[in-house]
Amino acid sequence: MNCSYQIPAMNSCFVNLDFPPLPKAPRGSRWSSICDLHFLVAIVLLTVFMVVLLGFFAYSLTKQEKEYEVDSATEAVEQLPVQTGSTINFRKGVTAGSHEGVTSGRYEGGLQPPPQPSKKGVPDVSSTTEPSPSWSAAVYSDHKSCSEIGRSILLHGGNAVDAAISAMICLSAALPHRGGLGGGFMATIYRNFTCTTMNSRETCPSAASEAYFINRRDETVVGPKAIAVPGFLSGLYRTYERFSSKHLSWRQLLTPTIDLCVRGITVSESLSKDLLQFQSMIKNDPLMRFQFINETTRTVLAKGDRMLCPQLANFLSDLSDSENPVDYFYRGEGSTRILKAIKDEDAFLTAQDLDDFETEHQYGLQSHVEDTTLCGPHPPSLFAVVQLAVNAMQRSNSTSSNIPLLSWDQSRLVADAIFDSDITKDAAKMTTGRAAKNLLQLLKDGHIPASKVGGYSLITPQKEIFAITFPSVIYFVFY
C-alpha cells in the first residue's frame, strides 16, 4: 500500500508525494532477540544461585569446625556414648599412659586417642580456639578450657546450672590442687527472681573430736586425720536434679572432662607455680608424682605442658554410667574405693560418714545496699563478711582496702550453725547497717596477712533471670 502525504505549498496548492513501502522485519529475527534476552537473564540468575549456594556451603563447613551443631530441645541428645568400646577397653587405654610424649601432642605407651564425640552430642571443647563473644553464653572460671566447656554446654541447649556443673567437673581436673571430688562448695543460684543456695561443704567425720586436735594443730591440715567427708559430688548432682534444664544428660556434662583427661590438659600458670613450690612433697608421693612429674625432664610440669588424669577419667566414667551417682559415690562402689585408698592411713573417715552426708538446700542470706540486693550462702560461708564490707564501703563512699581487711576480722565469728545456733544470728547482724557503722568507727590502717588458701570460682550468668556462682575450696593448696 502506498502512503500519500500532502504538503501545503506557498500558493495554497497541494503536492502529492508517494513514499516507497517500509521493509518488514523478518519474523525469525524477532524471536531470536527475545530468546537471547531470556537466556541472558537465566545465566545471570544461575550464576547468582551458584555463588549463594557455594557461600552457604563454605559457611556451614566453617561453622562445624568452630562449634557443634545446636539441636532442638526435643531431640534426643542423651545418646552420646562416653567411649566407643567397652568399659574394660577404655580402662586399658587411659591407665597405660604417662606424661611422656603427651606434651608434644603424641600418644605413646599404649594411650589411645579418645573417641570423637558425636555431632549430635557435646562436642570436643578441649581445644584452645577462641570462642566468639556471646552474652547468651558467658562463663567465667579459673581455667580457659573449663570456661569453653561451660560455654559449649550453654550453646547446646543447657542452662546456667548445666554449664556450671560441667565447668566445675573440668576444674577438678585442671586445678586438682585447689578443689575437686575430695572437697566441697557452696553455690548461690538466682532463678526467676529467687535466690537459693546449696551447702555442700565438707563435714567432719564422726570419730574426730576437738580434744584430739588441741595439741595436734598440723594434723587438721596435713595427713590422713585431716580427711573430711567430701561434699563435691553430692552437691553437683543434687543441684543437677533440682535446677538442670534436663535437655542434657548427666553423662553429657561429664564427658568433655573425661575426654580432656585422656587428651591432656594444658597446665596453667597458677598450677605450675604451685607445683614448683611443692615439688619436694610431690616427688615423695607416688600418686602425685605420677600426675605432676614430667617423665622426660624428671621435674614438675611447667606452664603449657599437657597433664593427664587417667584415674579421674576412670572415676568420672563410672559416675557418668551410674543411675544414681550419689548412691554410687557415698554408699556403693565409689565409697568402697575411697575407703580402700585410705585403709592403711589411719584416717577418721568411715563408711557411715559417707552414708550420712547430704547436701543442704535453703534460701540465701540477703541484705540491701541502696537499690541493690546482695544474696549468698549462710554460715559456714563467709558471705556475711562480704556483705559487711560492701555495706561499709557504700556508707563511707570509699574503696579503701582497709575496709575488707577489717571486715575479715569478723570471720572468727563464722562457723557451722549446726553446732551453735548463735552463728546464724551473728551472721544476720553482720548484714545490717549498724554493723557497717560500727566497723567504720573501728577502722584503722593495718594489714592482715593472707593465708595460703586454695580454691577456685565459677560464675555463669544466663540472660537476666538465671545465674549461678560456684566457689569451691579445699582451703590449703595440695592439702
Annotated binding residues for L-glutamate, written as ranges, equal 201
Pairing status of strand 140-141 against strand 458-462? antiparallel
C-alpha cell at 161: 546450672
Residues annotated in the binding site, as ranges? 201
Cis preceding linkage at 380, omega within 30: yes
Asked whether 405 and 447 are in contact (CB, 8 A), the reply is yes
**DSSP character for 233?**
H
Q: Residue 64 carries which side chain, given as an amino acid letter?
A: Q
366 — phi, psi (to 5°)? -120, 150
- Conformation bin of residue 365: beta by default, left when phi > 0, alpha when psi is -120 to 50: beta
Q: Residue 253's closest CA among 80, 383, 390, 402?
A: 80
Interior angle at CA 249, CA 248 and CA 254, nearest 5: 100
Alpha carbons within 13 A on the beta-carbon side of 238: 23
C-alpha cell at 232: 563435691
C-alpha cell at 26: 523478518
